[in-house]
Amino acid sequence: MADAVACDAATDFDAVVIGAGFSGMHMLKSLRDRLGLKVRVYEAGATVGGTWYWNRYPGARCDSDAYIYCFTWDRQLLQDWNWSERYPEQPEILRYLEHVAKRHDLKRDMRFNTRVSGAEWDEGARRWVVHTDDGETVTARFLIAAVGSLSTTNMPDFPGLETFGGKWYHTSRFPHDGVDFTGKRVGVVGTGATAVQAIPEIAQQAKHLTVFQRTANYCVPARNGKVDPEVTRARKADYDGVIRRIRDSFFGQEHYFIGKSALEATPEEREREFDRMWDAGGFAFWLANYQDMFFSQEANDLCADYIKRKIRATVKDQAVAERLIPKGYAYGTKRQPLDTNYYETFNKQNVLLVDAGTDGAIEAITPTGIRAGGRDYPLDIIVFATGFDAMTGPLKALNLKGRDGSTLDQQWKDGPRSYLGIAVAGFPNLFTITGPQSPSVLSNMPVSIEQHVEWVSDCIEAMRRDGKTTIEASTEAQQNWVAHVNEIVNMTLMVGANSWYMSANIPGKPRAFLPYLGPAGVGGYRKTCDEVAAKGYEGFELA
Binding site for ligand NA7 (CB under 6 A): 150, 156, 189-195, 214-215, 335, 362, 385-388, 441, 500, 505
Torsion-angle region of 467 (φ positive above 0: left; ψ -120 to 50: alpha; else: beta): left
The nearer residue to ligand NA7, 300 or 505, going by C-beta atoms, is 505
The nearer residue to ligand NA7, 106 or 150, going by C-beta atoms, is 150
Q: How far is the CB of 99 from ligand NA7 (least distance, A)?
A: 23
The number of angstroms, rounded, from the C-alpha of 44 to the middle of its chain's C-alpha atoms is 18
How far is the CA of 223 from the CAs of 272, 278, 304, 306, in angstroms? 18, 9, 19, 18
Q: What is the DSSP string of 457-490?
A: HHHHHHHHHHT---EEE-HHHHHHHHHHHHHHHT
Q: How far is the CB of 94 from ligand NA7 (least distance, A)?
A: 15
Q: Where are the beta strands (DSSP E) in 294-347?
A: 338-339
User: What are the residues whose beta carbons fall under 8 Å from the beta carbon of 244, sequence distance 6 or more?
Assistant: none
Q: How far is the CB of 393 from ligand NA7 (least distance, A)?
A: 12
The nearer residue to ligand NA7, 29 or 335, going by C-beta atoms, is 335
| Sign, CA torsion 231/237/243/244 | negative
Compute the distance between CA of residue 440 and CA of residue 211 in angstroms, rounded to an integer: 30
Q: How far is the CB of 23 from ligand NA7 (least distance, A)?
A: 15
The nearer residue to ligand NA7, 242 or 362, going by C-beta atoms, is 362
Q: How far is the CB of 299 from ligand NA7 (least distance, A)?
A: 23
The nearer residue to ligand NA7, 286 or 525, going by C-beta atoms, is 286
User: What are the residues whose beta carbons fall under 8 Å from the beta carbon of 508, sequence distance 6 or more?
Assistant: none
The nearer residue to ligand NA7, 386 or 457, going by C-beta atoms, is 386
The nearer residue to ligand NA7, 35 or 364, going by C-beta atoms, is 364
Q: How far is the CB of 498 from ligand NA7 (least distance, A)?
A: 6
DSSP H stretches of helix in 249-283: 267-280
The nearer residue to ligand NA7, 270 or 509, going by C-beta atoms, is 509
Q: How far is the CB of 155 from ligand NA7 (least distance, A)?
A: 9
Which residue sits closest to ligand NA7, CB atoms considered? 192
Q: How far is the CB of 63 from ligand NA7 (least distance, A)?
A: 7
Q: How far is the CB of 489 from ligand NA7 (least distance, A)?
A: 17
Angle at 62 between CA 300 and CA 452, to 5 degrees: 85
How far is the CA of 357 from the CAs of 215, 318, 331, 343, in angstroms? 8, 16, 19, 18
How far is the CA of 179 from the CAs of 56, 155, 169, 346, in angstroms? 10, 19, 9, 22
The nearer residue to ligand NA7, 192 or 332, going by C-beta atoms, is 192
Burial of 297 (0-12, 13-18, 19+ CB in 10 A): exposed
Question: Helices 297-314 and 267-280, interaxial angle, to 10°?
Answer: 60
Q: How far is the CB of 64 from ligand NA7 (least distance, A)?
A: 10
The nearer residue to ligand NA7, 28 or 198, going by C-beta atoms, is 198
User: What are the residues whose beta carbons fall under 8 Å from the beta carbon of 332, sequence distance 6 or more?
Assistant: 218, 286, 289, 293, 294, 300, 303, 493
Q: How far is the CB of 51 from ligand NA7 (least distance, A)?
A: 8
Neighbouring CB atoms inside 10 A of 469's CB total 14
Burial of 505 (0-12, 13-18, 19+ CB in 10 A): buried
How far is the CA of 462 from the CAs of 32, 310, 433, 531, in angstroms? 16, 54, 18, 14
The nearer residue to ligand NA7, 155 or 280, going by C-beta atoms, is 155
Compute the distance between CA of residue 299 and CA of residue 308 in angstroms, rounded to an integer: 15
